Structures are given as structure tokens and as C-alpha cells.
Amino acid sequence: MLAEALANKELRLAFFRLVNAGTVLTTIEVLKKSCLEEPPSNMQGALQLLGYFLDFAFDALPEQREKVIRHAAHYIRILRMTIIDTNVSCLWENKLKRCN
């Protein structure tokens, strides 16, 4: 539900007006952890939310830019792992279908 609201630019701006810098950075940490440790369905939602929080943090927290860039680099690595995992599982499923 939050991801849907953050997809709307006006709601996203309203949401982030209510959140302080410390909360944004803490939420980024929690979302990154969720991306790595949660089941795939939760991981996808966390990835989506993480993107919105990183976008906001990069623009709104210039004093934290170095930290946000490190988080963004982790986000990219997580996305790459996810894409690779998806491709591998699709290949595996195709092999199973051909074998049956």
C-alpha cells in the first residue's frame, strides 16, 4: 500500500514531508536488510520502497550524500543479484519443462 502511494508524486511528497532525516536513513537500512533476508515477495516490496527512499534521500539530504550513495550502490548490487536469480530460476524451470 505504501509503495502504491509513493508511486503518486503528490502523495510521495506529502509522505516525505512528514519524515525526518534520521527516520529516512534508518528506514533505508531496514529495507536493505529486508531485501537480503526476507522471502521473495517481501523482498520485491522492500526493493520498490528502497528506491523511493533513496531518491528522496539523495535530493533532500545533501549532508548525507556520501552515505546515500553507498546505500544506492548496495541497492544496485541487490538488484543485480535479483535479476541474476530470476534468470537462473527461469532457466532451471525451462530445463525441467523440457525434461518432462
**Residue-level pLDDT at 41:** 81
pLDDT at residue 82 in the model: 77
Residue-range definition of the domain harbouring residue 58: 2-99
8 residue type, one letter:
N
| Number of compact structural domains in the chain | 1
Distance CA 82, CA 100 (A): 27
- Whether the pLDDT of residue 95 is over 60: the answer is no
pTM of structure: 0.79
Determine the average pLDDT of the residues in 58-78.
Answer: 95
Residue for grid cell 511528497: 13
25 contact partners, CB below 8 Å, separation of at least 6: 57, 61, 64, 67
Sign (positive or negative) of CA dihedral 38, 41, 45, 48 = positive
Determine the pLDDT at residue 90.
55
